[in-house]
Structure 1
């Protein structure tokens, strides 16, 4: 039994669903946004401004709306920011397309707009206004980012803690991108939440905190050696799959004595190799704990696989595996431990260990305090995503090779790109309507994985390619030549300095060919920032309108006007809770100054990564193209039965 719904990809219906999502999150956008009170199934009430949590709490049922929420959460996971802005901008673009009455060539026009107008507006207009992040700029970047999620007192404290954690974990500025990648991936293991205390009590400690107590503790001074194990150290009587038969009590006692002797010999061997600490992912037998205490070896057991992976990554040590009867071989896979002690966090006893790192990352752990567990979870999630956001600062958005070469050889008169592609294949989205009353994180991820192109994890690779089939997109690359310069600009050891620079426009009569030669390498350089508060949207809006005039395709011109106007929806929402007519004054003043080639006024509210903002626009355009490609939705009430062809006697 199934039901079908046709014409789902029509702009009016898509706009209505996107507008409903945007209406739910718009009030929480920006530093002046409000909070929503989420009621968890456990009865806990959690005030939040987190876009991902808000979208999941909406229990979206329509398939297209679920796809929009999934795309917003997917963009948030990749860049650490922008779930609410994604939905607001998406609704504005769909609303503009619906009002413009775009025709059947809309999907092609969206792709042509990206190459003919958007990339040129960014490379030859927006890029002129960008500035590198000045020294001491982590807190100016972190505080406005956290302002969209937390209260004023919380964001200042967490911005200070986050900047200090980056500085201590990555003392070398050139290693900052690798340090941020590790912080983004492993923050769950690099912080300990302590409920019942104010946020101001949070502290940054050297080393890492293991959420276990010692199974055996033998105090020792100075450096010691630690061994990682992932299997029981108590020797087995037989090999796996071999049956061991005991015929008498004497045989049983003899086997136990053999196990005891073997365990004692192993501990002696560890002691002779200067191993004073065992870190185990499994629970060890009592005989192992007994002889560990006897020979001065501390034991921490039942560590999680994530904690073991973090220790291996920091120290470069692989887990130890005993090899049969060979007890005399030297143990080389040991980690250097600078200190090992017990730590009491309120009522829970943990293990505090300092490791000598073999990489650029210097391990530090954040003790994150908060009144209740729910607040601690929000603070931890905000910091982890802030580290993911900071990673984007070191990335560079490259231009497309086809029009880059064209811009170097042609003049402004021939500044129209011809980009050809095959017709977009119609997509068929199959929805399971059995449980459509909830939108969980797993559902959003599954939906995202089914219908979106692969996104290579920036934590595992220095190359981030957002590759969607049938789409035009700039290649987004983290260039290490630019990274060093950006890292030097982000040195937080010199203290916080006031960020003050002017946004200077360029002369319109400058030739496009000359501009293309100046900026033929990339759209956005690593470390590029702009002041927060709508400057990116105003600048891109202005230059999209300017470059749209050069386009010779009417549908691309319509799309350009729609996207340019839609960009203003974000600063409109930001200024919506400020003074009356605040956005109108800001917009008119900025546009008049741009037309006169005069510097724009700059606020002191902080900075934001231009790469993140540009990637948001790209992701929204791809989502619109994908939504317009949906022609049919099939709802399946029960899983399809797998049939098998069987030969019967009647067939012979």
Structure 2
């Protein structure tokens, strides 16, 4: 392999096209799943673009760079990994086509490739600058009127319109991630989860996303259809002491972040204690140790006596307790749950409102949490601790835990990741609502993209934006004939966007043209007609429209977030610009005897 490799536009395009070929197998209604095998013999079946791309053993630095950009994007929006790589490849093709048409004097192949790369960088910079300034306005003026705003404040089973639209949004997401078999089940499960947690704002969705590791339980050996919600919180530990007294209601609990046993003396402390007692009282060393043991036992008894005065019957601990502490807890008929994870304890503290005990000598009423119940629960082959909290107000959230069932660990992990990503997608969909409030308070101009704005799937967003870009380019060409960059940028971006609907309707070009024509001909002031397009509502009556089963109709009759699409285009253009800025790849041999010098960067160098 060459130690120094000069990169041109064609090299970047070849690398991205190799990644595109991988994700194309899972994209669209006809997409399937990819089966990976590890060296250990373990297999992974997945349709998630991010999971597939990150599982590849990529050697080329440009490929790893693209995957890193995709990972960062999906960490924010939870969706769009396959569309991301398809758009990157399409943009590079359109840029390559435009750059190759530029007149170049030199006939040298290297000089011509270098000139094409320079032109490509210029076009990528112009495209990113144009979208940064104008894309949001174009979406607001040309696309938002066609969209339907999903009102989160009306999210309930009684508000049938918003509830139905939310399910369509979730179904289309799960179809692309997990397939159409269990998408209805998972969308119904997430709807119930959002309603129980009152996740009607960006901040509440962020709380749900941050605490998701403590809010779901994987159960192996059961079909996915057994997945359900459980009221309250499931702590993934078992009781360390008998649980005879927990049937009483209500239950009082205390959280300890330290060991109840006083800290044992180390060698230096023992020597100091021996010296001091010999100087003061002439006591022997063995008597000093006996004094300490008696004091430790007395301290433990005082701690449990203090807990009994508050009628505490459950002790939650982040550390393992001593045998003496467990024995006294058993004698006092208190249940101990030890080695609880930090995430679960943090969630318990938040839901209960109680403060954790960091000093056993000062237990106060604010340390005592009231529980509706605390009992064991058997999920699969494991027994955990199940707690629930009393309702304070009718409009307050009612915590619940998601039980994700699957036949194996890989399936449960895949469904858990999909649920976590769908929460990120919803958070991005409703994010402008809070962003508008913050920007108004800070004096900045608010977003013009309405929060909760959704459009039908099946290429509706791409068709509308493609039409809007062409119209804007023509307008700028007439108003300012000397500026040729804006019309060219609009044309290139508009052409690249059509790659997504082309792949969606790859088996039926007639359907592609019909949908494009009908989408662009609808009245923006009648968005409900767009949701009832014949392509989406009567596809079964028109078999020529789709060559597949009704499962594909389910994917194409859903909704998708306008805000997520906006973030996708911006992230793709930033990735393309970064890729085209790479001139040379240096292949450095690994030398374990010497460490290369690493430069230090300031905070200003992050961009």
Query: Shorter-chain-normalised TM-score: which range?
Result: 0.7 to 0.9
Q: Identify the residue that residue 583 of structure 1 maps to in structure 2.
A: 512
Equivalence for 1:355: 389
- What's the counterpart of residue 82 of structure 2? 84
Task: Give the superposition deviation at 1:12.
Answer: 2.0
CA shift in 2, pair 1:254/1:27, >3 Å: same
Deviation, 1:307, is 1.3
Is 1:219 matched up with 2:219?
no
SS for the counterpart of 1:222 is coil
* Displacement after TM superposition at 1:374 (Å): 1.0
Q: 1:468 matched to which residue of 2?
A: none
The number of residues matched between the two structures is 519
Q: Against the structure 1 CA distance between its residues 200 and 480, is the aligned structure 2 distance closer, same or farther, given a 3 Å change threshold?
A: farther
CA distance 1:330–1:35, change in 2 (3 Å): closer
Q: State how far apart, in whole Å, the 2-side matches of 1:608 and 1:343 are.
A: 38
1:66 corresponds in structure 2 to: 64
* 1:236 corresponds to which of 257, 260, 263: 263
Structure 1 residue 521: Cα displacement: 5.3
What's the secondary structure of 1:84's corresponding residue?
helix
User: Is the alpha carbon distance of 1:16 and 1:631 closer, same or farther for their aligned partners in structure 2, counting shifts above 3 Å?
Assistant: same
Deviations 1:438-457 (A, max 9, x none): xxxxxxxxxxxxxxxxxxxx
> 2: CA distance between counterparts of 1:589 and 1:2?
52
Distance 1:609 1:585, change over 3 A: same
Task: Look up the match of 1:616.
Answer: 568
Deviation string 1:311-365 (CA, Å, 9 cap, x unpaired) is 2232333321226xx45x6342222211100011222111111134889543211
When residues 58 and 277 of structure 1 are mapped into structure 2, their CA distance, relative to the original with a 3 A threshold, is: same
Q: Residues 82 and 379 from structure 1, CA distance in 2 versus in 1: closer, same or farther, beyond 3 angstroms?
A: same
Partners of 1:115 and 1:350 in 2: CA distance: 50
The correspondence for 1:574, drawn from 504, 514, 518, is: 504
Contact 1:315 1:358 in 2 (8 A): no
Q: Which has the higher helix share?
A: 2
- Residue of structure 2 in register with 1:156 after alignment: 184
SS in 2 for 1:89: helix
1:635 Cα deviation from its structure 2 partner = 3.5
| Worse overlay, 386-395 or 593-602 | 593-602
Q: Does 1:547 align with 2:442?
A: no
Aligned to 2:231: 206
Q: Matched residues in 1 for 2:524 and 2:382: separation?
A: 62
For residue 440 of structure 1, what is the aligned residue in structure 2?
none
Q: SS in structure 2 opposite 1:105? A: helix
Tell me if structure 2 keeps the 8 A contact 1:316–1:358: no
Task: Choose which of 147, 169, 183 in structure 1 pairs with 2:197.
Answer: 169
Q: Secondary structure in 1 aligned to 2:336?
A: strand
Secondary structure of 1:522's counterpart equals coil
2:420 alignment partner in structure 1: 384
The separation in 1 between residues aligned to 2:398 and 2:97, in whole angstroms, is: 55
Equivalent residues of 2:146, 2:524 under 8 A apart: no
SS in 2 for 1:318: coil
Unaligned runs of 5+ in 2: 103-118, 151-160, 275-283, 538-556, 599-607
Contact 1:71 1:623 in 2 (8 A): yes
Contact kept, 8 Å, 1:110 with 1:625, in 2: the verdict is no
TM-score by structure 2 length? 0.79
Q: d(CA) in 2 for partners of 1:294 and 1:59?
A: 57
Task: Mark the CA change 1:596 to 1:558 in structure 2 (over 3 Å): closer, same or farther.
Answer: farther
CA gap 1:635/1:355 in 2 versus in 1, 3 angstroms: farther
Instruction: Give the distance between the partners of 2:358 and 2:447, measured in 1 at CA.
Output: 49
Please report how far the alpha carbon of residue 629 of structure 1 lies from its aligned counterpart in structure 2 after TM superposition.
2.0
After superposition, residues 22-171 of structure 1 pair within 5 angstroms as 22-101=20-99, 103=119, 105-115=122-132, 117-133=134-150, 134-136=161-163, 137-170=165-198
Q: 1:280 aligns with which of 292, 303, 317?
A: 317
Find the partner of 1:259 among 296, 299, 316: 296
- The answer to whether the 8 Å contact 2:171/2:558 transfers is yes
Alignment counterpart, residue 589 of structure 2, candidates 631, 637, 640 = 637
- Whole-angstrom CA distance in 2 between matches of 1:189 and 1:259: 35
Q: Pairwise mapping of residues 289-300 of structure 1 onto structure 2 (< 5 A)? A: 289-300=326-337
Taking structure 1 as the reference length, the TM-score comes to: 0.74
Confirm or deny: 8 A CA contact 1:538 1:590 kept in the other structure: yes
Q: SS where residue 393 of structure 1 aligns?
A: helix
2:491 matched to 1:561?
A: yes
Task: Output the CA distance in 1 between the equivalents of 2:486 and 2:579.
Answer: 18
Check 1:156–1:74 CA distance in 2 against 1; reply closer, same or farther (3 A cut).
Answer: same
Cα deviations by residue, 1:443-483 (Å, 9 ceiling, x for unpaired):
xxxxxxxxxxxxxxxxxxx6xxxxxxxxxxxxxx254899x
Tell whether the 8 Å contact from 2:37 to 2:44 is kept in structure 1 after alignment: yes
Matches within 5 A, 1:408-427: none
> Quick one: structure 1 residues 42 and 343, their matched pair in 2 at CA, closer, same or farther if it must change by over 3 Å?
farther
CA distance in 1, matches of 2:15, 2:451: 36
Query: 1:117·1:544 contact (CA, 8 Å) conserved in 2?
Result: no
